[in-house]
Amino acid sequence: MPQQPVRAVDPTPHPGGAATTRASAEPPLLASRLTPPAAPEPMLLRPRLLARLDDGAAGILTVVRAPAGWGKTTLLTAAAQAAEPTGDPVAWVQVEAGDSGQRLWAYLTRAVLGALRAEPDDLPPVPTGGPWRPDGLEPLAAALAARERPVRLVLDDLHRMTDPDVLGGLEFLLRHADGRLRLVAAGRTGLPPALHRLRLAGEPTEIGPDDLAFTIDEVADLLVAHGVPLPSAAVARLRERTGGWPAGLRFAALAARGQADPQRWVRRFGGDHPDVAAYLRAEVLTPLPGPAREVLRRCAVGGAVRADLADALTGRADAGQLLAGLARDGGFLHRDDSDPPWYRPHPMLADLLREELAGLDGRERGELHRRAADWHADHDRPADALHHALTAGQWDRATELLLAHWPELVPYEQEPPPLPPPPPPPAEAVRRDPELALAAGTERAYAGDVAAATARLRDAVRAARTLPAPRRDRFRRLAVALELTLARLSGDPTTVRDAAARLLATDSTTPAGSALPAEDVVTGADPVTGDDPRTGGDDADVRAVAGTALGLTDLAEGRLGRAGTLFRAALAAARRVGRPRTELVGASRAALLLALAGELSPAEETARAALAMPPCQGWSGRVDCGYAHLALALVAVLRDQRTEATAELAAAGAVTGTTLAGAVAALCRAALLRDAGEPAAAMAVVLRARDELTTCGTGELADRLLALEADLRGEQGDVDTARRLLGERAHGPDPVPVLALALARVELRAGDLRAARHALPDWDAPGAVGWPLSVRLAAGVLDALLTRRAGDERRAGRLLERVLDLAGRHGHRRIFTRAEAEVRELLAAHLDSGTAYWPQVSDLVRDVAPPPGQGAYGTRRGPADPRRDGPERPLDEPLTERELTILRYLQSILSNVEIASELSLSVNTVKTHVRNIYRKLDATRRREAVRRARDLHLL
């Protein structure tokens, strides 16, 4: 849209009305404040946000809230442009600082009346001078209410609107326009108090900084639009550095144009870039009160702060309150959901704050680091305490922290702290105390700086030659622990196992020259005496650290069973000596592996215990906690709890982007998509996960993904491809149980009962006890089904009873509710023949999913329910398959836009289906439609 000229317009609201604002008393109204501004060039359309605005237009209030530079005005301008071809009237008002109530209300009435003229009406005069009065606004409200199509009123920079009279009048107009006035308000803060009562009329649509942040794909599109396309790794790096902040990305794109090597330049781009720093100072820091700005600057000494840490750093008693106020609107200061909460500045603001912190006197900076070291040490955060002690030059303190907390200083899969590296200790200090160099190397390894950590390790080894004999053993243990860390960071499994064995050799309970593998030393009792050699103290620390490292290595190689054993042993050792962070790593991974083994109850218990641990708070624990959430997601899938599974997958966050955890997430997502009637989308998820799972070879997760792909292909009738995928490993001399089960299901769908029976693995054999329980149960259900098909109803009932016994211990439901269509008949017949699990079977009969092609049911009650009486009453018009799919999504918290994205449909298509669903179910709201659908057993 071209730049609108700044010109005066007639202040009279309507030709037929008597203007109460005289030109001699008030300056004329400016057209530039009544039209959208010119969009930045190049303009990048963001359909997902335009769809959110379009979706929000169904209600009377949409709020776009974010600090400076987050693209609020750009988004509203794009939405106004998109509305032009449709003829939907848009009234635009740019709020300016210092606007009087009378002046601002003149703009508001002029904008609304200007939009109403799009369809000429006989409007009565509306007074605009003086304080608003209800009787003065009633004509305008009545005129709006009489319209067939609503008017969209856009208020840009709402935070500048402070006059209570104007806000009160606006609230009155919105309430009495009968839904024909839709307010879209953009500002740097939330709703003013006068507008909060509008929430009572319906939940407003809110678009905040997290929504406005550019996704990786949008960053790539923006760079291409600016003529600086970058490789995907550089795009991801820029997205991480800017946090998706639109203004920062545009600064980066403009600056990258003149760089000889834009990819290399992006790695150095940050908040200290002159243009970015100037913008942040002018728009973010300068408007802040002095105390708030000083708190931000002093708290920049650490990556994240808590209220009591902020008080300790600043010497104030209200630092926490100031941080809470700054984080309320998000964008540049983030707050997590732990209790008490942690605060972290936006990456680019953090760069600028650290630059300002560097301007402090050296002694003052050192004092800040000493205070931070004290606080972190007192709150069981040794890694942060070590960093600050080294930065402050507290050499003795750094060595003490290493000696007391070395098991908690091992990096696992957390993100490195975004802090500048401390200076290396002076050579003289290292000569006096070689363990100081180990402390510095451990700190660098924790931050992921392998080169610096290796250099510090070499310094330590050279200086340790003069150590007296009593200290050599302790030094050797600490040095080997650092070597193990560096081996893990290098990703070499052989080196990890060698270093773990050498670390275990420092354990006083390990026999000298022991030939046992390191895994057996960690997990097993003495093979001769049967005694458990694991004790407390330093030896338990050694086993906890070595066991965790070996468990992570086995997990990366897809050896799930052995990894689970190692994690449980390491977890027990960590608990004995009180190492909470090592315990969290073991608990979170053990929970996931228990869930993969089908042990749902202990998996849930272990995962929830992990999430309750103190280290599972703040950003430093989000990767470890992500594994616990992923475990709960898998538990929910196997219990056929779709809503819970979707929520836990979302909570798992970034961990699902890693290879192994991503494979588990793919199993969950594919199952949910399959349940929703989207087999093609489920197949795409599985294929992508199989492609990414290259490091695991034929590990257990790879086998599960292969089995799921074959099952999906067999379900779609592609039997030959399914058989070819499963190959000899499904029916050879030693078949893989999950693949053999998949082959049996494929043969059953092909109608070859004999081949299905031949392929079915023996789930009752002694060796089957070691299978994943979900595989064993599914094989048992299929065995019962095939037995019933063969005419042996009594034996089928006995088999089913045993499966129900095994399943009931952990709440497995999916093996019944999402199995072959005949399973419902099998369960219903079992009710008639008698069962010790009557309530469980009765619920399963009710909840078994409909067979493909019968998703609409066509009845008011759905399938026969043995606990209900009365005839089935058909729907006037059955739901289509697509409508049933969308109906299932309506149970979730997903918006129409998100549902459209999940199903690869347009938002308007989804809205049309939703309206049809409401009509057929005689419902007016989502919750009512879901409740009625459940009553009718459509869900």
Q: What is the DSSP letter of 407?
A: G
Helix (DSSP H) and strand (DSSP E) numbers for the chain: 45, 10
pLDDT for res 531: 40
pLDDT digits (tens, 9 = 90+) for 128-153: 445 555 556 787 788 888 887 888 89
Q: Which of 108-117, 614-623, 857-866 has the highest mean pLDDT?
A: 108-117
pLDDT band for 527, please (50, 70, 90 cuts).
very low
Any residues with CB less than 8 A from the CB of 487 and at least 6 apart, and which? 495, 496, 498, 499
What integer is the mean pLDDT of 756-775?
Answer: 91
Q: What is the pTM of this model?
A: 0.76
Using CA atoms, how far apart are residues 546 and 586, in angstroms rounded to an integer? 12
Using CA atoms, how far apart are residues 411 and 646, in angstroms rounded to an integer? 30
pLDDT band for 910, please (50, 70, 90 cuts).
confident
pLDDT digits (tens, 9 = 90+) for 815-835: 988 887 788 888 888 877 778
SS3 721: helix
Top pLDDT among 88 and 800 is at 800
pLDDT at 873 exceeding the cut of 50: no
For residues 750-783, b (16+ Cβ closer than 10 Å) or e, as one string? beeeebbbebbbebeeeebeebbbbbbbbbbbbb
Any residues with CB less than 8 A from the CB of 136 and at least 6 apart, and which? 126, 127
pLDDT for res 414: 58
Distances 513 to 134, 505, 508, 516, 517 between C-alpha atoms, Å: 92, 8, 12, 9, 11
pLDDT at 487 exceeding the cut of 60: yes
- Helix orientation angle between 232-242 and 216-225, rounded to the nearest 10 degrees: 110
pLDDT digits (tens, 9 = 90+) for 426-444: 999 999 999 999 999 999 9
Neighbour tally for 336: CB within 10 Å: 16
pLDDT digits (tens, 9 = 90+) for 370-408: 999 999 999 889 999 999 999 999 999 999 999 999 999
Using CA atoms, how far apart are residues 67 and 73, in angstroms rounded to an integer? 11
pLDDT digits (tens, 9 = 90+) for 169-224: 888 888 888 888 888 989 888 777 666 666 555 567 889 898 999 998 899 999 99
Backbone angles phi, psi at 335, to 5 degrees: -125, 130
Top pLDDT among 854 and 428 is at 428
Burial of 867 (0-12, 13-18, 19+ CB in 10 A): exposed
Bridge pairing between strands 151-156 and 181-187: parallel
Quote the mean pLDDT of the chain.
Answer: 82
CA 126, chain centre distance (Å): 50
pLDDT digits (tens, 9 = 90+) for 398-407: 999 999 999 9
The amino acid at residue 424 is: P
pLDDT at 516 exceeding the cut of 60: no
What integer is the mean pLDDT of 409-418?
Answer: 72
Q: What is the DSSP letter of 123?
A: P
227: alpha, beta or left, given left = phi > 0 and alpha = psi -120 to 50? left
Percent of the chain with pLDDT over 90: 37
Quote the tokens at residue 65: 């809230």
Using CA atoms, how far apart are residues 699 and 208, in angstroms rounded to an integer? 42
pLDDT digits (tens, 9 = 90+) for 311-327: 999 998 888 889 988 88
Using CA atoms, how far apart are residues 799 and 829, in angstroms rounded to an integer? 13
